[in-house]
């Protein structure tokens, strides 16, 4: 949905992707507050039940994944990975409600990929001990390969963002074409395709985005 704000005779259109992004953030924040209040009142001597159980399974799974993929030294990135997975997962599943998923806008996916890119570069900076070592690492194994190294480093966020964007966007386009082609008969065919494009493809791309972020970051922290 788009918002139209009129300030002093000027019309400002707030694009639907921004509105939906804020919606996802609000939903996740409310959920986090609710879970927090539940956890505070939870009895630690008993086994977890209900919502607490589900959240613990999710957090445990992500912790486990980060531990096996990135190693113990990089375990501090687990909250970041879980945050990014939560955001992209909910954003992709938003297509089920009839709203446009925010991830079908390139600016959203590119900013998400830029977060990973800057973390990677900062970690490279740290592991190579300052600017000198950082710049020198691009000339390895020999000087002629410098342009290739730089392009290879810059291609990471672009391919990362295009992968998510392309998958979600193409699913949305196919669904729109089907809805406009079938008209009233659309509900016969589309539930299955919603299951594929929104649930399966969306969650798979979420997993892959998190996984690739982990691999890029852990690759940058290796000596």
Partner 1 sequence: MEGITSEAFILGCSAIGAGLAMIAGIGPGIGQGNAAARACEAVGRQPEAQGDITRTMLLGQAVAETTGIYGLVIAIILLFVRPLMTYYVGLGL
Q: Which residues bind partner 1 (CB under 8 A)?
A: 159, 162-163, 165-167, 169-170, 173, 204-205, 207-208, 211-212, 215
Of the pair 33, 177, the CB lying nearest partner 1 is at 177
Beta pairing partners, 14 = 3
Shortest distance, position 208 Cβ to partner 1, whole Å = 4
What distances in angstroms separate CA 138 from CA 149, 151, 175, 212, one per listed residue? 6, 10, 44, 21
Of the pair 6, 68, the CB lying nearest partner 1 is at 68
Shortest distance, position 167 Cβ to partner 1, whole Å = 7
Of the pair 77, 165, the CB lying nearest partner 1 is at 165
- What whole-number distance in Å separates Cα of residue 101 and Cα of residue 136? 41
What distances in angstroms separate CA 103 from CA 17, 107, 176, 196, one per listed residue? 8, 8, 16, 16
Shortest distance, position 159 Cβ to partner 1, whole Å = 5
What are the E-state strand segments in the chain? 3-7, 10-14
Shortest distance, position 171 Cβ to partner 1, whole Å = 11
Beta pairing partners, 6 = 11
Of the pair 127, 201, the CB lying nearest partner 1 is at 201
């Amino acid at each position: 949905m788009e918002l139209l704000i009129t300030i002093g005779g000027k019309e400002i259109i707030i694009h639907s992707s921004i509105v939906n992004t804020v919606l996802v953030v609000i939903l996740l924040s409310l959920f986090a507050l609710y879970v927090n209040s539940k956890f505070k009142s939870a009895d630690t001597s008993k086994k977890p039940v209900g919502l607490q159980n589900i959240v613990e399974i999710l957090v445990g799974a992500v912790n486990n994944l980060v531990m096996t993929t990135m190693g113990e030294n990089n375990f501090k990135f687990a909250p970041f990975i879980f945050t990014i997975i939560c955001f992209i997962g909910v954003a992709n599943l938003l297509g089920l409600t009839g709203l446009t998923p925010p991830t079908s806008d390139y600016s959203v996916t590119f900013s998400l990929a830029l977060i990973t890119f800057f973390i990677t570069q900062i970690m490279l900076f740290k592991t190579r001990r300052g600017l000198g070592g950082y710049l020198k690492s691009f000339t390895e194994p020999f000087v002629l390969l410098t342009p290739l190294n730089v392009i290879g480093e810059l291609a990471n966020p672009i391919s990362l963002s295009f992968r998510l964007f392309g998958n979600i966007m193409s699913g949305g386009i196919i669904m729109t074409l089907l809805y406009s082609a079938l008209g009233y008969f659309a509900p016969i065919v589309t539930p299955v395709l919603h299951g594929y494009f929104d649930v399966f493809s969306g969650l798979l791309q979420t997993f892959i985005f998190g996984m690739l972020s982990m691999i890029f970051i852990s690759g940058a922290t290796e000596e």
